[in-house]
Structure 1
Amino acid sequence: MKLWSVVAILLVCSMLYGEQSKDVQKEELKKAMQSFASALELIQHGILYNKPWEMRKGAQLLDRSSKDFVERHGDALVYHMPDDPKFARSYAKYTALRIRDNIDKLSSSLGGPKDYSNTAAYYTHILNECVGCHQKIRQW
């Protein structure tokens, strides 16, 4: 009788821990997304108000936030697409690669003359990748 009680308690505790870790993962994913939004906001503000230092700061923040994104948040992404978790990870991974490529292009475009049309185009590509991922993974 005591053995079954201990097993039941351990089972309940492990289930509660699993739910808690899901919540922690979702919260960390939310913080990462907020960091992306802040970076994109800095880039956009820099483009609109001719402030290359803000664009650089936003690109650096976006670069830091996007490094190893899928490795850090892949489990939380799966919760949005439980029917096909392999696709969710794969799609997010390739989206992150395309975003990082556009971050590099955006950063290099800031070193040239003050023609921000390329910078704005790379910003738009990054934003489109974000929206595309949300459409696929979160099924907007």
Structure 2
Amino acid sequence: MKKIIIGLITFGALTFNLQAYDQSERIQDMQTMEASMAQIQKGILYNNKKMVLQGVANLKQASSKVEIAPKTDMDYSTNFAKNQASNIRKFADRVKENIKAGHKHGAAMNYTKVLDQCISCHNKIRKWN
């Protein structure tokens, strides 16, 4: 019986480790978000609605996967990062709505708000000065 329990605990621990969001995945998602932002900006500048919409879709997908593990019990960075990611998706939706309506200035304004969320998160999480 003990062997079965130990085996299940070991299997569970290994499965958890395999599914954990690691630094390489975070880096990949950040690079995807950066490329998506560039795609959105280029789409706005070239008046290419399809490019903007694809960039928004990629940005929303990548931002929904980002996770930050707390370093201590008092570490608020996890909640802060989740809130920033939520705001990124909210403003990305507004970019999409504006570009579909033909309001390029509104799309550009919300693009800037997305960028502000990125910079704010990097200031807090990565300790930028």
> What TM-score comes out, normalization by structure 1 length?
0.71
Max radius of gyration: which structure? 1
Question: How big is each residue's C-alpha offset from its partner over 1:72-101, in whole Å with a ceiling of 9 and x where there is no partner?
Answer: x222xx4xxx46763110110111111111
Structure with the bigger percentage of helix: 1
Specify the alignment match of 1:45 in structure 2. 42
Q: Which runs of 5+ in 2 are unaligned?
A: 1-13
Q: Which of the residues 48, 69, 74 maps onto 2:68?
A: 74
What is the root-mean-square deviation in Å for CA atoms of aligned residues?
Answer: 2.1
Aligned residues: 111
Specify the alignment match of 2:6 in structure 1. none
The one-letter amino acid paired with 2:111 is: Y
> What TM-score comes out, normalization by structure 2 length?
0.77
Deviation at 1:120, TM superposition (A): 0.3
Deviation at 1:68, TM superposition (A): 4.1
What is the CA–CA distance in structure 1 between the aligned matches of 2:101 and 2:29, rounded to whole Å?
Answer: 30
What is the CA–CA distance in structure 1 between the aligned matches of 2:125 and 2:72, rounded to whole Å?
Answer: 11
Residue 131, structure 1, aligned to residue 111, structure 2: no
Q: Percent identity?
A: 28
- The list of structure 1 runs, each at least 4 consecutive aligned residues, that deviate by more than 2 angstroms after superposition, is 82-86
Q: Which of the residues 100, 104, 126 maps onto 2:93?
A: 104
Indicate the larger mover: 96-105 or 124-133: 96-105
Q: Which runs of 5+ in 1 are unaligned?
A: 1-16
Return closer, same or farther for 1:85/1:50 CA change in 2, 3 Å cut-off.
farther
